Structure 1
């Protein structure tokens, strides 16, 4: 079989395959024999239909098409094997099937054109000595005080207050009923429309400005127990209930009781109640260590991300469509699984109309992920970076102990762990052989924001 190769974009190889006269005749005759044994033609037994009658009844085009399907499939498979091409995905027919039928003459040579995706060549122009900038995330000591105060608030007891008006920070016990405020020009005799779910009795509300819709809490502040008051409020736009989005509301509120939070003492007893530690000092030390580690981990993540972005400036990969489609499939599958775990009906969300749009929007991220992954794999090969079986098993054992209630497939988990550990080793190696300057948190974000805001001006500016 004569095969001519041609290098195509997107890591494809074009194939011109010349099918021999013997094959074109053999396949045609074979199809006729098969059809003769399967097709019912009145007046003839199966297998006894004369050739010319069969062709006349079925039509030459149908017979040729059946023969061509086998010729194309087998011809492409043999060509890939003969040329030792590392093909991925399904081959594509580049010839027009209609043209092939017109050109197909059994017993004469036939040329078909096809294309196959191949593993892309990865060109790394540089991967050491890279320079980048990353934001440094510093440990904030106030995080410890914040989390401790949150735990104190959870253990707070509510104590009735008398002799004063409600203030921010109190807990108010109220009866309330809300209606949608009448719009300007609306008939004043029209009955106001009740707000769905907008009423309650002996309802406890914490008087913080971010609680409920704007205006509701501030309307309670300053009220005295036993007082009834009409309070104006405004539903935000957008709002969860679209019918209420942006609507003005009027609430009739009766303040029945004021309570204040009494926080527990910050002592060892408190530490024992909210944690496994015996003393408050031990609890604080543990929280400090946790948040310091979080800050360090986030800083390293920023360094890695900055380095990988810089690396892609020196990488050339002509990605095949097969790789991109597979990565998009994986991304959408992961998204669907997460949404399903949250109780969302994925079938209603991922409709036939929406899926093509989701695929198009996912392609840029899929391409970025593939380039990163393939580049790291190539660097790992060049620098002989590998993980040992002992390292993989140690991590697998840790995870099995950490998640005893989950039905984990140990063999599958081992493959995931091996890939993660190898990626980590390669990225750590890159960090050691490059320079990533740490800059204050927010500085790079501010620069990006300024750049983005300047783009529209540049696009709309008049060069004259």
Structure 2
């Protein structure tokens, strides 16, 4: 079989394949034989239909189509094996089917064109001696004190208060009912804006601001009308930006009594015996966390600089696989949060999610392939004992799941080699550490990075659906 190869864009390989005359005849005869054994023609037993009758009844076109399908499939497979082509997928017949039908004559050579995705060629510029800036994270000086104070608040005991009015920091148990004010004495009750025995912590951002400030200063047993304006971005569109009046009855008032910051507290909130041991442990954790963030910043800076040095024409097969990997990881993450993955990933959302994940997939692929190329050039390898130790660690994390040990070792080895390539880049690079937030705006609490945003679009869609049913008690808790 004659095969001519031609490189095509997007890491495709074009193939011109010529199937020998004897092969086309054999394929045609095979189809005729199979039909003669299975055809059900009145007046003849199966397997006993004369060839001429069979050809008349079935029609030469149908037989040629069946033979042609086998010839193309088998011919492409044999061509790939014959030429030792490392095919990734995305097999395409570039010759038109109508043209092949007209051309096909049993006993004569058959030529057709096809294409297949193959591993991309990696063009890598000078990667040694990269010069980058990375943000350095330093532990906050009062991080341990803040953490301990937060835990004290969490461990606080609620003590009933009767001798003074409510103040910020207290916990109030209230009944409330909201209405839209109308002309004269007419008013309209707000659906879903009523609650009995609801426990609200009087703190900034804990509830509707107007209600919090309205309760402050009230005494237990007092009832008060409080004007409230809903925020413009309130989840319920029918309430967003609207003015309302809430009738609030303060039924109980409690204040938080914080535990003493001593060894007993340390034993209550940790496995440490003394407060000094707990402080030392926390200092170590905050320091290691800062070191990890700095290491991540350096790695990201190096990878971004590396992308500028590499040119890769990625095949569609690899991009599709990486997009699928991203979506699978996202689905597993969402499932771990207890969310219904079937609602997040359906026929309507999956195409959108794939499109949004595509840029991230391309970036990850280019970084990964560039690191693999560096590892190859610098002879970086993972030792068997390293692979075994890491595989064992991953297996423990995936306990109870069906895992292919061979595939796991391949993934672990690949990851270890890429880690070594990153380390090599760092050792041969000039990295200037700058204060955190000086290169990019510091992320505020609850704000997502672009990658996190692309991976959680589905959550937002589900939240949009649920928002219509939310009422003002979204952050209130029923009193015990």
Same fold (TM over 0.5): yes
Quote the offset at 1:146 in angstroms: 1.1
Measured at CA, do residues 236 and 40 of structure 1 come closer, stay the same or move farther in structure 2, by a change above 3 Å? farther
Matches within 5 A, 1:119-158: 119-158=119-158
Measured at CA, do residues 121 and 405 of structure 1 come closer, stay the same or move farther in structure 2, by a change above 3 Å? closer
- Coordinate RMSD, CA, aligned: 2.5
Question: Secondary structure of the equivalent of 1:192?
Answer: strand
Measured at CA, do residues 414 and 250 of structure 1 come closer, stay the same or move farther in structure 2, by a change above 3 Å? farther
Matched, 1:28 2:28: yes
Measured at CA, do residues 52 and 348 of structure 1 come closer, stay the same or move farther in structure 2, by a change above 3 Å? farther
Matched, 1:392 2:365: no
Q: Could you say which residue in structure 1 is the equivalent of 2:366?
A: 371
Q: Deviations over 1:57-103 (max 9, x none)?
A: 32332211101011101111121122221212242111111111122
Q: Deviations over 1:350-398 (max 9, x none)?
A: 2223322222222111111111111111111111112222223334455
Number of aligned residue pairs: give it: 442
Q: Could you say which residue in structure 2 is the equivalent of 1:282?
A: 277
**In 1, Cα distance between equivalents of 2:187 and 2:427:** 73
Q: Deviations over 1:263-317 (max 9, x none)?
A: 1222222222222222222211111111011111101100000100110111111
Q: Could you say which residue in structure 1 is the equivalent of 2:177?
A: 178
Matched, 1:440 2:439: no
Q: TM-score, structure 1 length as denominator?
A: 0.88
Matched, 1:429 2:428: no
Q: Deviations over 1:237-280 (max 9, x none)?
A: 44445554444443211123332222122222222222222222
Q: Could you say which residue in structure 2 is the equivalent of 1:462?
A: none
User: Which segment drifts farther, 100-109 or 3-12?
Assistant: 100-109
Q: Deviations over 1:387-444 (max 9, x none)?
A: 222223334455667x597568593654444333332222111100111211121111
Quote the offset at 1:228 in angstroms: 0.8
Q: Could you say which residue in structure 2 is the equivalent of 1:361?
A: 356
**In 1, Cα distance between equivalents of 2:159 and 2:334:** 42
Measured at CA, do residues 154 and 341 of structure 1 come closer, stay the same or move farther in structure 2, by a change above 3 Å? closer
**In 2, Cα distance between equivalents of 1:159 and 1:130:** 61
Question: Secondary structure of the equivalent of 1:443?
Answer: coil
**In 2, Cα distance between equivalents of 1:404 and 1:357:** 30
Measured at CA, do residues 343 and 56 of structure 1 come closer, stay the same or move farther in structure 2, by a change above 3 Å? farther
Q: Could you say which residue in structure 2 is the equivalent of 1:3?
A: 3
Question: Secondary structure of the equivalent of 1:126?
Answer: coil
Question: Secondary structure of the equivalent of 2:151?
Answer: helix
Q: Aligned to 1:198, which of 194, 203, 212?
A: 194
Matched, 1:305 2:300: yes
Measured at CA, do residues 55 and 119 of structure 1 come closer, stay the same or move farther in structure 2, by a change above 3 Å? same
**In 1, Cα distance between equivalents of 2:286 and 2:123:** 40
Q: Deviations over 1:183-242 (max 9, x none)?
A: xxx6767662344263112x3322102111231101111212322101122344444455
Matched, 1:319 2:318: no
CA contact (8 A) 2:180 2:187 kept: no
| Structure 1: runs of 5 or more not aligned | 449-464
Question: Secondary structure of the equivalent of 2:347?
Answer: coil
**In 1, Cα distance between equivalents of 2:123 and 2:399:** 45
Q: Deviations over 1:148-168 (max 9, x none)?
A: 001111222223334432211
Q: Could you say which residue in structure 2 is the equivalent of 1:254?
A: 249
Matches within 5 A, 1:12-411: 12-174=12-174, 176-182=175-181, 192-196=188-192, 198-201=194-197, 203-241=198-236, 243-397=238-392, 409=403, 411=405
**In 2, Cα distance between equivalents of 1:429 and 1:119:** 24
| Structure 2: runs of 5 or more not aligned | 444-480
Q: Deviations over 1:307-349 (max 9, x none)?
A: 0011011111111111111111211222222223333333333
Measured at CA, do residues 331 and 141 of structure 1 come closer, stay the same or move farther in structure 2, by a change above 3 Å? same
**In 2, Cα distance between equivalents of 1:447 and 1:177:** 39
**In 2, Cα distance between equivalents of 1:254 and 1:26:** 92
CA contact (8 A) 2:228 2:245 kept: yes
Measured at CA, do residues 271 and 256 of structure 1 come closer, stay the same or move farther in structure 2, by a change above 3 Å? same
Question: Secondary structure of the equivalent of 1:444?
Answer: coil
